[in-house]
Amino acid sequence: MGRIIGIDLGTTNSCVSLIEGNDPVVIANSEGDRTTPSMVAFTSKGERHVGKHAKRQAAVNPERTIYGVKRLIGHRFKDDAVTEYCKNLPFHVIENTNGDAWVDIDGQGMSPQEISAMIVGKLKESAETYCGDKVDQCVVAVPAYFNDAQRQATRDACRLAGLKVLRIMNEPTLAALAFGYKSNVEGKTSNIVVFDLGGGTFDVSVLECRCGTFRVLATAGNNHLGGNDFDDAIFEYLVKQFKEENNIDITSDKMAVQRVREAAETLKCELSTMSESSVNLPFLAIGETGPVHMMQSVERSELETLVKPLVDKLEAPCHDALEQAGLDKNSIDDVLLVGGMTRMPCVQATVERIFGKKPSHNINPDEAVALGAAVQAGVLDGEVSEVVLLDVTPLNLGIKTKGDRVSTIIERNSSIPTKASKVFATTQDDQTYVDITIVQGDSEIASQCTRLGEVKLTGIPPMPAGHARVLVEFSIDASGVVGVCVVDKQTGTRETKNIENAMGLSNDEIVAANSRLR
Ligand code: AMP
């Protein structure tokens, strides 16, 4: 059996690590970097680049340089979040035959799972080079707020890369594990908040750590709030200023768009340490009198005004998580910052204001999740024994009922693994089957939640409405993955469904992806 690696498959950057002796270590990639940009590029010559090399050529090959697929994975093309994300993308996102969001490269549709598999493949290769041995199993991290479909799709991505996924774990939980792994074994009980703002997602979790047991009390967040949104706000500002000054709209020039987008991100990062910085993009467009350059200096305070609506969105999930955990801010001992975006001073100030204490800088925000995943890998293969992780499910899980409502069976923030059931009655006379639609989400309106799949139970004996009773039982395993069983209470007929098959790639799609990945 090969080694088990811990993978942080980030929206912007990814990282891999494993347990060496008793300590988790980050593995550098073939370029010597400890994190790898989550980018894949396809060149006109048919070559494929992953990571830094893909990022380097993005400005000259914008339509074939794919990034941020974590914001598409496990999503329907028509989801509002996808429409919103695709607004400014230089590459094409299309609807595949199942209605899922895929990317299009020169007319060839590719699933976000396949693109992610290329990134995971590079991490796997780095680990194999480091170990001098085969690596075929992993623990993979996902945002705490990922639903079942997104978890399944992430698992498919690792499978396509040749890795068996032993556990899917929540990113903030793993960060807390990396932070407390050594220090908490003998220690007192402490309450930790993990504030995780990455390139595409925002999660906040509250954990109780006691003698090596890490129990998640509550988690909340926003799957569609991250650094990319900040970059978009800066991008729009720069484009607008340029238009006002030069009367040129660059948004139809894909290469110019990509250059400004990169400059926006760089500016954002520079303004984390400097109070003023500038964008200098020579020859960005051609005007009536010749080439026009973008030269714009921006102060940190201007940036902070620009992104204030986004920063404000961070507040509600923090209060929600504290409330769900049954704690107030005075009982929090440590606040950990995870994700590159937490380097922004206004984000740190917001965290400090909300929780009433300075966040801890003891962990590396880019590496903590992967390190935690390696510790969990160590737990699973027996190398680490003194740690127990108890996580929760982030979203309500239930079925669609009359009037587009949701009847919740497993409440959000229930500890996992868990199982729960409810009995439902038929609504029509002589009803011989029931169609159950499984939904997961925050809303009480079924159509606003994610539809995970359907189960049909047939063979119900004809009876007056309300007499036949059907038991719906849901289970959620330690990876947050959902199973469902529907039983006719009279006859004992049952239908068990692994939701895995309902949303994932078809066999044909897996074969096609495998042949391309080879
Ligand atoms: P992650 O998903 O954790 O890799 O976070 C990536 C996000 O963090 C991207 O949006 C980056 O632009 C952002 N980021 C990285 N470094 C900084 C920095 N110094 N200041 C502001 N944002 C940063």
Summarised one tens digit per residue, pLDDT across range 68-117 is: 999 999 999 998 889 988 887 889 999 999 899 999 999 999 999 999 99
From the CA of 11, give the closest atom in ligand 1.
Answer: 2
In this structure, are residues 206 and 192 in contact, taking their beta carbons and an 8 Å threshold? yes
Burial of 14 (C-beta count, 10 Å sphere; 0-12/13-18/19+): buried
Alpha helices in 48-136 (DSSP H): 52-56, 80-86, 112-131
Alpha helices in 16-95 (DSSP H): 52-56, 80-86
Which residue's CA is minimally distant from atom 1 of ligand 1? 198
Given 100, 114, 156, 171, the catalytic residue: 171
Tally of CA atoms within 13 A in the half-sphere of 266 that contains its CB: 13
Total Cβ atoms within 10 A of residue 9 = 30
Given 55, 70, 122, 497, the catalytic residue: 70
In this structure, are residues 473 and 420 in contact, taking their beta carbons and an 8 Å threshold? yes
Q: Which residues of 42-54 are buried (b: 16+ CB within 10 A; e: fewer)?
A: beeeeeebbbbbb
Which residue's CA is minimally distant from atom 8 of ligand 1? 340
**CA 239 to CA 296: how far, in whole Å?**
11
Convert the pLDDT of each residue in 198-240 to its tens digit.
988 899 999 999 888 899 999 999 878 999 999 999 999 999 9
Which residues neighbour 270 within 8 Å (Cβ) at sequence distance 6 or greater?
277
Q: Which two tokens stand for residue 430?
A: 């002589």
Convert the pLDDT of each residue in 464-510 to its tens digit.
999 999 999 999 998 888 989 999 998 988 887 766 544 467 777 77
From the CA of 366, give the closest atom in ligand 1.
Answer: 3
Q: In this structure, which amino acid lies at residue 405?
A: R
Which residues neighbour 492 within 8 Å (Cβ) at sequence distance 6 or greater?
none
Percent of the residues in the chain that have a pLDDT greater than 70, as a whole number: 97
Percent of the residues in the chain that have a pLDDT greater than 90, as a whole number: 75
Radius of gyration of the chain (CA): 24
Note if the pTM is more than 0.85. yes
For the chain, give the longest Cα–Cα distance. 83
Residue 453 has φ and ψ, to the nearest 5°, of: 155, 180
**CA 515 to CA 508: how far, in whole Å?**
11
Reply yes or no on whether the pLDDT at 136 is more than 80: yes
Pairing between strand 213-222 and 388-392? parallel
Residues 103, 107, 113, CA angle at the centre, nearest 5°?
A: 30
Higher pLDDT, 267 or 402: 267
- List the end-to-end C-alpha distance of the chain, in Å, as a whole number: 22
Instruction: Answer yes or no: 313 catalytic.
Output: no
Reply yes or no on whether the pLDDT at 151 is more than 90: yes
From the CA of 196, give the closest atom in ligand 1.
Answer: 3
Distance 269 CA to ligand 1 centre (A): 7
Instruction: Answer yes or no: 8 catalytic.
Output: yes
